[in-house]
Structure 1
């Protein structure tokens, strides 16, 4: 947090503080120790006596006068912090807002001649509130300068592209191979952990995530990197990254992983389109009298269903497993209305236990009824694509949940 330029409080302000919170806290505040909050609060305190009525007047003044080094009022500082927390960890912002409301309620409820007990309670609530504000500033590093990251990708027709990043303290951009993380099982933790603040943000993002609205990686980027992050493209772009995330033990590696994964997941998701399946049917012994029915395996509708299943594993903090991602996807979609007719006909084999999901283009005979699906070499490609998407998202979350 940026240092506060304290203003020497009036003597009567010091006496009021001593009366309200005690000599020990006052001494630490004036010394600029751990109680930076009180330094901020008394940095414009009016000269008042120590009576309950004067305490009320002082509290009312504290909500209006500048309490920070750059001149923000207490109300303005709380609004700034709440706005920042809304984009990082909304529950933390909600808790802080509750504390602010409790103080406002107590203060507005004070009569002009309050009892000593009521005045003391309002002071206590103020002390708790401003301590929470400063704690949020320090915990989430809201006053730290945001480091800059430059990113680009060499786009091609594959799903294994080269990414280039220039992070703080790098002399030049460096190539980054996302496959090392996603396919080659390299451990980017290197013995480090994300830490409780990062894991708390990630856990809350999983809880808030609606799979129907898209993947979770954009939400992780918004909360960990910054709400205004730019997608990686073929042209080098520079963006500011949250000081909290960049300076965390995993920040340098995982800012690259999340930005690169966000790009490749957009590409993979765009590749998924509805898959048409034609099925011929006839009755024995008249194969010449075939009837053709057209079915559609609607992958854009199925992907959110599969994502919702993976979300349950994220909520349970289950370590990500690539084979398991495929099995869970099959488990989620095999009964869906865009798949079950083909499963029931026997022209699609679906087995959640093994992860099998394949088109069967052999004749299926049931009594005198026969049906046969037309071959499609790309049918199995679709489920493999879905599996890759789910695994990337699950692994990104699971890695950052390892606190």
Structure 2
């Protein structure tokens, strides 16, 4: 099923995103293993899940609080730099796999394993949903002995819930190669695309690891009513954020802003983007390769003005931010979040601590290491 839809998905993806903000050759890389694995910071760990079609598995893990990054690729095969065509030929031994980076201080790996089991039939061999073939086998692959021990113990515990033997591999990661760019964030680029995971499970994932009650009560970012916003915002800021307006290209506050710092929702103050993910796209609006976390934003189909695009809104403030396209830098994931300056407030690095954003300063440092 997925093989049939790939070409259609690529064509539709181009149609959806190949437009301005206002109104590749595939790459494969081998990761370093165990103590050689490169992390974004000392708190981030990684684990690899093979759960059938990697489009849905990636999207599922992206919903979980504490997951800070994902990448789809091919794991534990017998050649270097495989292409998708080689993987589906059943001659390379690779499994479609999702690399999951997570913060163990926010989410327990045991919870990730438990949630993963809800997306698969763990007793099925070489098939999940409508997909058949050894590239769709299930497995959890580790890069360190401690995680491997946890995985084996958790899978053995979960296996007691099934009448048939569990077929999930629990072995070390041998190798991993990033899949072609059009596979990355596939369901974000192609809303409604094929997925073997029931849609309701995505909502379950979003609610599976809520903030502790104390933190929830102390959260300072809250949506404000329109009357308050009319008094607080400029006319342009209100038009853009509340009425889906678009400011002029090259005539807005942050299109050429190059200082280090953080960009927050003008309506709530909630952090959305950081300067290390900002790049010059030539479109005349601030462009980012990704938000700080996708849990801060909503992406919705926008068919206004006779074209199809994907709108970006802040989740807490429900403010219109801009649109996302797939013509961004390939080495940064291939996406371009084209955002109106009027939807944002920029906090320079030197002011972040005093204005309550000190916890985010480390994000500005990670790309310098």
Q: Normalising by the residue count of structure 2, what TM-score does the alignment of the two structures yield? A: 0.23
More strand by share: 2
Of structures 1 and 2, the larger Rg is shown by 1
Q: Normalising by the residue count of structure 1, what TM-score does the alignment of the two structures yield? A: 0.21
Q: Which structure has the higher relative contact order (CA within 8 Å, separation 6+)?
A: 2
